[in-house]
Chains A and B, each alone.
Chain A
């Protein structure tokens, strides 16, 4: 846990750690202005080191958001959620005063069920409740590193089967069934399109392609281990899921309008808290293309 004292050696930005495990606030950057390469280089490094970076009080348009996101890579379109009007690369996530269903209220890593899951997710807070609606993050490097040597060896070859359209969703319905029943606030591109790949198999211990560190790559989409039955998988799957978000591995982010957050799905889980029923919350989300996990 030596990273607690990191975050020196930045010349163009100020990096302030949020919790012991992960997360940092970045100061000294205006995302409405073009960023020079040296500043962007420091931001990128801070992101790899802290896994989640947070910019406060950013007054940015969707175009600014897109321009900043594109510096991290190509945009990863969501396989079934419909984008925002006029911005095919941005998802608008709104929970209205009258909605009770909340998008992302489980520990997960984004689009893990696709063959090449999004490497990064960037969220801009557009409307926020006066309190509530925080997001929690957990550090999957820590989750891996704190396992015993025996467990590390045992799971070294395991693959997780990740399902993005499971009947095990808390509603007990598939995406198409939920859309038909009017549950969930995310508009769908075409809920009946069965050609979309919503199941992918990835290694449980994933090597981050940039940092080369190993992470426990598991989330709520992980249904079972490849080659095993549900019954065989479940005790270990449940243990690893619970372990992956121990408080020691987590941070909690309180949003304000204008907060911009970027996280690394290759080494983080996150959880959107549904504790603000009666209030409106609206976010803009962009995800960046990733590679095949190894």
Chain B
């Protein structure tokens, strides 16, 4: 717990944007930008703020799908979700809706996006169209902190481990299709499983390709450690999952219509809180291609 704070005074000041940290561990709100029109210098500062804060938030944005996509493409090529279909007229945008009558939501477990892909999405952005009056927040945790706060003995033991991550890991004994079927669930119509299940092996301790920092790369897709049995893996997997989201490593974002969050899946977990039954929540998601974890 030595390095508890981001020390933003160590870095060069921001000239084109205002960066306001939202918690000790991670997260910052960026003020003073309209994402529909960004010059390169402003974009460079946003990119730096993103690497420094793991997740950044913008408020009050009004973006058409085309403007949203244009902003997204500044971060890289679009990563399409292997299991979920995009919008009919904008297939690169994935619509996440929970209606007033649904009880399930999408993403209410601690995970990092598409960890089951050989090259998981490096970034995810979410743009809020409709949100409940209260509830429907997203929580984030900082996986650099999770790694750094482990003991030296544990770090050493984990250094060679690899995780086995499953695209359709069963939760409560149910597959994706089973979870989203039978309730008139909006997301049911969006499940489009690939022909073969997608599972990937990645290092448990991942080096971020841009910052060079090490992170504890684990999430709810992680089924076991590669080469170990499920039984052998379980106690350590469970400990690391709980450790990864200690309150000290987290921040929580309350959405408004027009809010946009952008997070780095290489060093963050997130959790979509399902506490708003009876109210509608409508978000637009875009994910950006990443590289092979090392």
Contacts and interface: CB of A to CB of B under 8 A. Distances in A.
Contact size range, B: 20 to 34
B248 A248 contact: no
A271 B24 contact: no
B1 A18 contact: no
A242 interface: yes
A21 B275 contact: yes
Given A18-B254, A247-B139, A278-B5, 19 more contacts: A2-B277, A2-B278, A4-B275, A4-B276, A18-B134, A19-B135, A20-B132, A20-B275, A130-B21, A131-B20, A131-B24, A132-B23, A247-B275, A250-B273, A252-B137, A273-B247, A275-B25, A275-B248, A277-B24
A100 interface: yes
Ranked 10 nearest A-B pairs via Cβ? A275-B24, A20-B275, A20-B135, A132-B24, A17-B134, A277-B4, A131-B21, A252-B252, A1-B277, A20-B276
B247 A4 contact: no
9 contacts: A1-B277, A18-B254, A20-B134, A20-B273, A131-B20, A248-B108, A273-B248, A275-B25, A276-B24
Contact size range, A: 20 to 34
B24 A19 contact: no
Contact of B23 (A271, A275, A277): A275
A275 B247 CA distance: 9
Given A247-B139, A271-B247, A132 B5 contact: yes
B136 A20 contact: yes
B135 to A, nearest CB: 3
Interface in A1-50: 1-2, 4-5, 16-21
Contact of A276 (B5, B20, B139, B274): B5
Contacts of B1: 100, 274, 277
Contacts of B24: 129, 131-133, 273, 275-277
Interface of A: 1-2, 4-5, 16-21, 100, 105, 129-134, 136, 242, 247-250, 252, 254, 271, 273-279
B247 A277 contact: no
B271 interface: yes
Contacts, number: 100
B111 to A, nearest CB: 13
A105 B108 CA distance: 24
Nearest to A277: B4
Interface of B: 1, 4-5, 20-25, 108, 132-137, 139, 242, 247-249, 252, 254, 271, 273-279
B278 A1 contact: yes
Contacts of A276: 4-5, 24
A274 B278 contact: no
A4 B279 CA distance: 9
A2 B273 CA distance: 16
A57 B165 CA distance: 47
Contact of B278 (A4, A18, A105, A249): A4
A274 B23 CA distance: 10
A247 B136 CA distance: 11
A131 B24 CA distance: 6
A252 B275 CA distance: 13
Contacts of A133: 24
Contacts of A19: 134-135, 137, 254, 273, 275
A242 B243 CA distance: 12
A26 B253 CA distance: 20
